[in-house]
Amino acid sequence: MVEEKKLFPFRLEAFEDRFNWGTEKLLLADLGYRDTQVRDGWVRGNSMGDMMETFLDRLVGDDVFEWYGQQFPFQIKQISCSGKMPLRVSPDDEISRQRYDALGKEKLWYIVSASRDARIYAGLSSEMPVADFFAACEDGSIGRHLHAIVPQAGRFVHIPAGVPHCASGKIEILEVSESSALDFCLCSWGEPLNEDEFDPEFNLVEALDFIDLRAVKPALQDPSGHHHGHEDESSGEEHRHIVEKLLALPQFTVSRINLTDPLHIYTEKFDSCLAYTCVSGLLQLKVGGADLPGLKDSPDLKPVTVIPGETVLVPAECPDFFLAPAEKGTVLLETMVEKREDPDPYTGETEEHEHCDHHHDHHQHFLS
């Protein structure tokens, strides 16, 4: 019997779209019509759609596959804004499934950098009747009714489905969202739209019934830090990394890792793929199984180097691995999907997510 070849961590080939307000770079995407491709290993050249079709639960984990099937669950995008983005909104999962047979689009915007005059606009500052909202989008005056956020590097904003949002000024954002193309254009501020930026059907009229017209004011949030220290007995020095959970949703969980020392990730602790996006510094990721039978000299076990703006995906079936900083100031975003529970058919309530409170129990220091 021929042994099944294992999947190992791989980087993804990003692609960039240019608009009159800035650029968007898809770092990880499985949209069907647009997929990122694998850069590394024996699966190099395959799209994310090909990977899902071929490897199924081996790639994403049993629980994720049971819930999402062959759809990869989340996507990661780098937004570089230098003007004013069109105002946009996304539907929730229920509407997206019913109308478009697709996922909705909860979003996290992590701010990499921002100029003093940069702003994020998310939600209405006061409730508006639908007719007034429509008219304000049509004549471009809707900006006066939006909740303005002054962005700061290292902080983040959760943008729920249904909330109108955009950014303006010079700002760099890492966006983590559900794997969906359902962004609807509400207002382009009088500027012509790139024909590839929005599907013409995803417009203001089609979005009116799912826009949240209440006063909704998403906040700029600080991560909640969970500190883990290790004492090096030979030197008496404390080596510390910080894992900070940013946002835990049923659709995805995002954490920030300030990587000061090598970090050992035990994959058997959970059932999900893991994506690491390098925010700053330089990451080296190495599978810990150099002594695995038949794999000692495999090129797939060589360290993967990840630079800022790149994403590496660790398949669910991958053995335990190490994250190591190759430069000072290495910061990562970790994205995964925690176990989801079906709602009770009578109460509609769900049980707590199995891994939510102990998500980072699988992170341990490893000091050479």
- CATH homologous superfamily for 224-365? Jelly Rolls (2.60.120.10)
Contact of 243 with 226, CB cutoff 8 Å:
yes
Residue 299 phi, psi (nearest 5):
-65, -20
Here the tokens at position 245 are: 């959970």
Sheet holding 156-159, edge to edge: 15-19, 22-28, 74-81, 171-178, 107-114, 156-159
With CA atoms as reference, report the closest residue to 175 among 24, 336, 45. 24
CATH of domain 10-210: 2.60.120.10
Kindly report the CA angle at 98 between 96 and 103, in degrees rounded to 5? Answer: 30
Please state, in angstroms and as integers, the Cα–Cα distance from residue 249 to each residue in 259, 286, 307, 355, following that order.
Answer: 24, 28, 27, 12
Is the entire prediction scored with pTM above 0.75? yes
- Can you read off the two tokens belonging to residue 200? 């013409």
* Cα dihedral sign, 89-92-95-98: positive
Buried residues in 304-318 as b, exposed as e (16+ CB within 10 A): bebebbbbbbbbbbb
Domain limits of the chain? Answer: 10-210, 224-365
| pLDDT digit string (tens) for the chain, length 368 residues | 345 788 999 999 999 999 999 999 999 999 998 999 999 999 999 999 999 999 999 999 999 999 999 999 999 999 999 999 999 999 999 999 999 999 999 999 999 999 999 999 999 999 999 999 999 999 999 999 999 999 999 999 999 999 999 999 999 999 999 999 999 999 999 999 988 899 999 999 999 999 999 999 999 998 865 433 322 333 334 445 689 999 999 999 999 999 999 999 988 787 899 999 999 999 999 997 544 444 455 666 789 999 999 999 999 999 899 999 999 999 999 999 998 775 543 344 554 433 333 333 444 433 33
